[in-house]
Amino acid sequence: MAQTAQRPREYGIRFGVLPTGPLNAITDVPGVRVGQVTLSEGQNIRTGVTAILPHDGNQFQQKSPAAIYIGNGFGKLMGFSQVDELGTLETPIVLTNTLSVPTAADALIDYTLAQPGNEQVRSVNPIVGETNDGSLNDIRGRHITKHHVLDAIQQAKAGPVTEGNVGAGTGTVCFGFKGGIGTASRKLPASLGGYTVGALVQTNFGGVLQIAGVPVGVELGRYSFKEKLDGSCMMVVLTDAPLDARNLKRLAKRAFMGLAQTGGIASNGSGDYVIAVSTAYRIPHETANPFDELKIVRNDNVSPLFMAAIEATEEAIINSLFAAQTSVGDQGRTVEQLPINKVIDLLKKAGQIR
């Protein structure tokens, strides 16, 4: 059900100043894989699962440095406290709907315990993010099963990432229009380290939509306080820059600024979270060495990465809107896709497209 329309850049829209990676996707970060399962069945099932795997090894035995930033905590993200305490990620990241978080966590535990080398594992910290897709999906039916989650993990691959009404974005609504999954990336020049920063978002939130600085939501007459637009946004930011958990938390905070660039307001009913992970090195679960010997980017050199996270997150959110299609779901509710032709006209009038 993903829209096959052009991405914003193909219309001439630009976000920021940094170049993108080859795919303009989170999978531009080497080793990163994404898998998605979409459930669009009958009149009322509009939901799914999106899985992000930072590397192709045993994630529990070879943990990734990680951090989570809470922009607004009206959400049910699972696994926060251990990541916040220890600064490591030990399972793939799974995104789904609010009431399927326990099912997804159970599946991640099954997946982890079944990995060769994990025969003695007695504790698992599954990371599951969510947004509430109850506007279009029969969320009370809890149609996501462990099989769906495991399937998303198992089919994860590198390369292009499908956007729009897919995976965990199948039933989402953003700025009053159909939301979904979006992704983007930035590649720093060699003089700034040559690192890649990639973002993947699950958009289901409100505010006053801005695209390239143009108040599109106002011009289209659809925005918070004029209409009831609430919800959440999950943001996942991966980079091959060698950052520790402290600077990954700082990176995550900047990704939230990317959401703000699109007009998101982190409303009272919004669960807005950023999960930031570095793929540059792995932290062994067990080792005879009592010290971690790491070479990490200094504070003075992280600003370009901050800008990359802001730009990639902003563009990923807008990409989700451009890719999403009109959807009819639970109780016959219809959510229209972003009127792209009108948006392009508005951007041309504002001088943002020449």
User: Is the distance from CB of 283 to CB of 87 less than 8 angstroms?
Assistant: no
Q: Is 232 a catalytic residue?
A: yes
State whether residue 131 is helix, strand or coil. Answer: strand
Please measure the distance between the N-terminal and C-terminal CA atoms of the chain and give it in whole angstroms.
31
State whether residue 277 is helix, strand or coil. Answer: strand
List 64, 100, 232, 267, catalytic entry: 232
State whether residue 304 is helix, strand or coil. Answer: helix
The token pair that represents 260 in the structure block: 């703000």
Burial label, 300 (beta-carbon count in 10 A; 0-12, 13-18, 19+): exposed
d(CA 148, CA 39): 9
d(CA 54, CA 94): 12
Burial label, 263 (beta-carbon count in 10 A; 0-12, 13-18, 19+): buried
d(CA 159, CA 66): 23
Half-sphere exposure of 147 (CA within 13 A, CB side): 2
d(CA 268, CA 245): 28
d(CA 218, CA 264): 13
What totals of helices (H) and strands (E) does the chain contain, helices first?
7, 15
Handedness of CA 18, 20, 26, 30 (dihedral sign): negative
Q: Is 270 a catalytic residue?
A: yes
CA distances from 86 to 245, 283, 304, 331 (A): 8, 11, 26, 44
Q: Which amino acid is at 63?
A: K
d(CA 295, CA 305): 17
List 64, 100, 185, 270, catalytic entry: 270
For β-strands 127-131 and 93-97, DSSP reports them as parallel
List 138, 230, 272, 330, catalytic entry: 272
Q: Is 267 a catalytic residue?
A: no
Nearest to 250 by CA among 278, 290, 213, 287: 278
Please give the positions annotated as active site: 232, 270, 272
